[in-house]
Chains A and B, each alone.
Chain A
Amino acid sequence: AQSVTQLGSHVSVSEGALVLLRCNYSSSVPPYLFWYVQYPNQGLQLLLKYTSAATLVKGINGFEAEFKKSETSFHLTKPSAHMSDAAEYFCAVSDQAGTALIFGKGTTLSVSS
């Protein structure tokens, strides 16, 4: 069965600092991996996705993630945090295109000035 583990339910960084949100997955087949951002009382916005192409995936708003099969990881990074990045971030996995996603528990990112 697939699962997703997001290490750290809450991450705090200063504005301009590196953002690193961790995600590890388990899947018996090559996975599709996703990072979503959610602002309060809103739906999910896709930041980026891995679908077996390049292992380093660039997304919107300066975010990127690297798929590391040996580590079963898909950590999300951004070189320089902005105040507007403060939100809830979810890592998700699926084993087939068009199937439901399995979500991690989420990481709340706080950005201080």
Chain B
Amino acid sequence: GAVVSQHPSRVICKSGTSVKIECRSLDFQATTMFWYRQFPKQSLMLMATSNEGSKATYEQGVEKDKFLINHASLTLSTLTVTSAHPEDSSFYICSASPANKRAEAFFGQGTRLTVV
């Protein structure tokens, strides 16, 4: 149990376009999900906390108007990269925890975004 699915796994887009990444909890409900970003050969950095039914909480330095987060249901959070630029190219990963395993984070497979 506790499976988190992320889609797409890879996406290539042109500069100036927007890309939506989905994070789904398949077998549990998640009132909170987390979005991380990982640059090549680097660690994961928390971007934002996605809260079901309310606004996301962004970490310092993360542009909320560029990285739009929507958590419209208890099993789905989406991250939309708006007006993408090549420097937005990165690996984006989400995580969530079920209520009975809150001490453990379950991660999606990640999304490799390449902006050309």
Interface range, A side: 20 to 34
Q: Restricting to B72-100, which residues have a CB under 8 Å from any CB of A? A: 91, 93, 95, 97
* Nearest opposing residue in chain B for A91, CB measure: B43
Instruction: Confirm or deny: B67 has a beta carbon within 8 angstroms of a beta carbon on chain A.
Output: no
B102 touches A43 (CB 8 A): no
Instruction: Confirm or deny: A42 has a beta carbon within 8 angstroms of a beta carbon on chain B.
Output: yes
- Contact partner of A49 (CB less than 8 A), chosen from B46, B104, B112, is B104
B102 touches A41 (CB 8 A): no
Contact with A along B103-115 (1 / 0, CB 8 A): 1111111101000
Q: Which chain B positions have C-beta within 8 A of A44?
A: 44, 93, 107
Instruction: Confirm or deny: B25 has a beta carbon within 8 angstroms of a beta carbon on chain A.
Output: no
Q: In the bound complex, what is the Cα–Cα distance between A94 and B105 (angstroms)? A: 10
Q: Which chain B positions have C-beta within 8 A of A42?
A: 109-110
Kindly provide the distance from the CB of A37 to the nearest chain B CB, expressed in whole angstroms. Answer: 11
A43 touches B32 (CB 8 A): no
B42 touches A105 (CB 8 A): yes
User: Total interface residues on B, using CB and 8 Å?
Assistant: 24
A32 touches B43 (CB 8 A): no
- Contact partner of A100 (CB less than 8 A), chosen from B34, B91, B106, B109, is B34
B103 touches A49 (CB 8 A): yes
A43 touches B108 (CB 8 A): yes
Q: In the bound complex, what is the Cα–Cα distance between A34 and B34 (angstroms)? A: 16
Q: Which chain A positions have C-beta within 8 A of B104?
A: 34, 46, 49
Q: In the bound complex, what is the Cα–Cα distance between A34 and B103 (angstroms)? A: 10
B97 touches A97 (CB 8 A): yes
- Contact partner of A103 (CB less than 8 A), chosen from B6, B43, B49, B110, is B43
Given contacts A43-B107, A49-B104, A102-B46, 19 further A-B contacts (CB under 8 A): A41-B10, A41-B91, A42-B110, A43-B93, A43-B110, A44-B93, A44-B107, A45-B107, A51-B103, A90-B44, A97-B103, A98-B103, A101-B46, A101-B95, A103-B44, A103-B45, A105-B42, A105-B43, A106-B42
